[in-house]
Structure 1
């Protein structure tokens, strides 16, 4: 490698000719670097460099350096009354995220309360927004276009969606988007990756009822409808980063233990007493969760299932229960890292 000494702003510096040539092939081996816009002294840039022995840094989650996603339940009391507003389900402090809010490292879930005759705007720096209408009716103005909605409808919006949501009756949304992921990447969501889409309640319910009526439906791992966008042919998900399922847990049934590397922000629609989930880090030799944490289902409430956590759902009541898990599984599927697994229960 040829090294030449050059005079820059009155100071002798060492200019690496091959390095300059990579930046600009027209730069000759011996140059006055000031003529090419390189001003001032050469800098060191090593101040932030750190070096770790492999075993000390290979698993920062296991060592506690990187915080785990906590199991957390959020009550419908958060939106039961009060003014029109967005209510973030914020775990940013537990996650060590300085710029919140965030419910997981890449997603934030919210309840949105809008009183009749009022409106709430949304305009996050996000690639994907997903709204589910828990109750109420109204319409949204999205980039100058209007779309109506009512209880049970889903609405997904892509990057660049400046929206105002108007409630004709008292309304609550469950609202999830991926702004925390964009903050972490230091990126701006600029290009829409799918078209704004509404999944009407009547269509989703009809499809779920059709699936549930099939012979042997209750023998499957779950009875549910996966919602997908026509633009997401590779991941088969509701947006390119988000995954959503509309499911029923039939009376007296359970979903055996399973896990995935996506986080789940689970919304419970209706659930009689006796519906709950068990969550834990490992299985025993019989395929059962060891020392599980129990999360009782609360209608209109939500809870977080951390990535990689084994979980099973139980309905010990006499009535069906319905839920909507929303995950970052669109992104995980695209990265080929979802790794969903089911227990081989003995």
Structure 2
């Protein structure tokens, strides 16, 4: 790209008007000081898309995060999408990665690469491109993209890093069943499968910025706490009363979460787990529960900043 270069001298007052200098201890931890706002624990009800007209509903925490653009986390934006039967909706995010989970319904999506057919439970990802989603039945998506990352950097996508990719519901569930029946499943922090793309063999993630898990919490079980520096945008795929997540920044000596915030799972609802917070899933119901978190862990894994940690019982 050719850029014109000017020899005009910039006045010193213009060059220095935005400059600041802080003593180290006053600026080394901007989160603790409040300059960088903390990510809140927040729940978004399925009522946001249960009825009404065809529309997108951003799960927007821009006020809490002090951004001038919509965001659910520093680098990710989640939305609910509702499409009435026989109608369509267009998405065209300024993003490099877009994730779609079909909560209900069936139909197809037209893109410049061609059409993608989908049904309930399917997942597909797009590399930041215009798409028209056509619903044959009343449809709802859980949609996540990395548009806040691009907005923060002040950039636009220049090329696609991957092609549109579909993960069929039947294949996801078959692989999850295999993981559940593995003899070592009971020794693992989570019983789940991770969705990946062959183009990202360094991070083993669904896109170069996004990470996606599909997991099960069997009845009467507790999945021990873990933490990571990626924000998690969790979606409760299936849950009865008595399934919940405990969230907090510290652990007690016995491995329980200190002053934990309890988030009860409601089928079809989403909740935010802040980066760096310990969290554990508990199922006190009599049925399997399923959860699908989307994180910016593809980016963190590549930057070597994910810092995932697990609490292990003796």
Q: TM-score range by the shorter chain?
A: over 0.9
Determine whether 1:89 maps to 2:43.
no
Which stretch of structure 1 is more off in the superposition, 208-217 or 230-239?
208-217
State the SS of the aligned residue for 1:208: helix
Shift of 1:170: 0.3
Shift of 1:257: 0.9
From 18, 22, 35, the equivalent of 1:52 is 22
Shift of 1:250: 0.7
Give the unaligned 5+ runs of structure 2: none
State the SS of the aligned residue for 2:22: coil
Shift of 1:344: 3.4
TM-score, with normalisation over the residues of structure 2? 0.96
Once the two structures are superposed, the pairs formed by residues 141-220 of structure 1 within 5 Å of their partners are 141-143=110-112, 145-159=114-128, 161-220=129-188
Q: Distance in 2 between matches of 1:122 and 1:144?
A: 15
For the 8 Å contact 1:226–1:244, the answer to whether it is kept is yes
Q: Distance in 2 between matches of 1:185 and 1:318?
A: 46
Which residue does the alignment assign to 1:124?
Answer: 93
Shift of 1:214: 1.6
Structure 1 residue ranges, 4+ long, deviating more than 6 angstroms after superposition = none
Give the unaligned 5+ runs of structure 1: 1-35
Determine whether 1:73 maps to 2:43.
yes
Q: Distance in 1 between matches of 2:10 and 2:46?
A: 59
Measured on the aligned residues, the alpha-carbon RMSD in Å equals: 1.2
The CA deviation string for residues 277-332 of structure 1, in whole angstroms up to 9 with x for no partner, is: 11111011222211101000000000000000011110011111001010000000
Q: Distance in 2 between matches of 1:190 and 1:117?
A: 34
Which residue does the alignment assign to 1:305?
Answer: 273
Q: Distance in 2 between matches of 1:80 and 1:37?
A: 56
Q: Distance in 1 between matches of 2:164 and 2:88?
A: 20
Q: Distance in 1 between matches of 2:113 and 2:202?
A: 30
Query: Alpha carbons of 1:64 and 1:317: their partners in 2 closer, same or farther (altered >3 Å)?
Result: same
The higher radius of gyration belongs to: 1
Query: Alpha carbons of 1:275 and 1:42: their partners in 2 closer, same or farther (altered >3 Å)?
Result: closer
Q: Distance in 2 between matches of 1:243 and 1:312?
A: 19
State the SS of the aligned residue for 2:16: coil
State the SS of the aligned residue for 2:173: helix
The CA deviation string for residues 32-59 of structure 1, in whole angstroms up to 9 with x for no partner, is: xxxx9624x4521111110100001111
What is the number of residues matched between the two proteins?
308
The CA deviation string for residues 225-274 of structure 1, in whole angstroms up to 9 with x for no partner, is: 10000101010000000000011001111111110000000000110111
TM-score, with normalisation over the residues of structure 1? 0.87
Q: Distance in 1 between matches of 2:282 and 2:113?
A: 44
